[in-house]
Amino acid sequence: MTFPEDSQYFPVLLNGTPLTDPDRDESPDEVDIVGSTQFPAAYYAYDGTNVYFRLRLNSDPAFKTGFSNFSWGGIVRYE
């Protein structure tokens, strides 16, 4: 699949509910993941070979000179 369209992403669920995260619990805003049940914090897409993730951030990490320099870590639990 080429890069997924918006409609191909599904909310990440926790106990059957879209993943949420409060505003301003991390700093800076460019790395603050935020979300509500109406606007989930994370989404995924899968094409049978590749998995794609999408996170809702409190601020745009792109600046005029490029992206802010931050590192990300993650854990994927598969059942």
SS3 content of the chain, % helix, strand, coil (to 5): 10, 30, 60
pLDDT digits (tens, 9 = 90+) for 4-57: 999 999 999 999 999 999 999 999 999 999 999 999 999 999 999 999 999 999
Q: Which residues have CB under 8 Å from 47's CB, separation 6+?
A: 1, 4
Q: What is the pTM of this model?
A: 0.82
pLDDT score for 33: 96
Q: Is residue 55 helix, strand or coil?
A: strand
Asked if residue 1 has pLDDT above 70, the reply is no
Compute CA distances 47 → 9, 10, 51, whole Å: 11, 12, 7
Q: Are the beta carbons of 47 and 1 closer than 8 angstroms?
A: yes
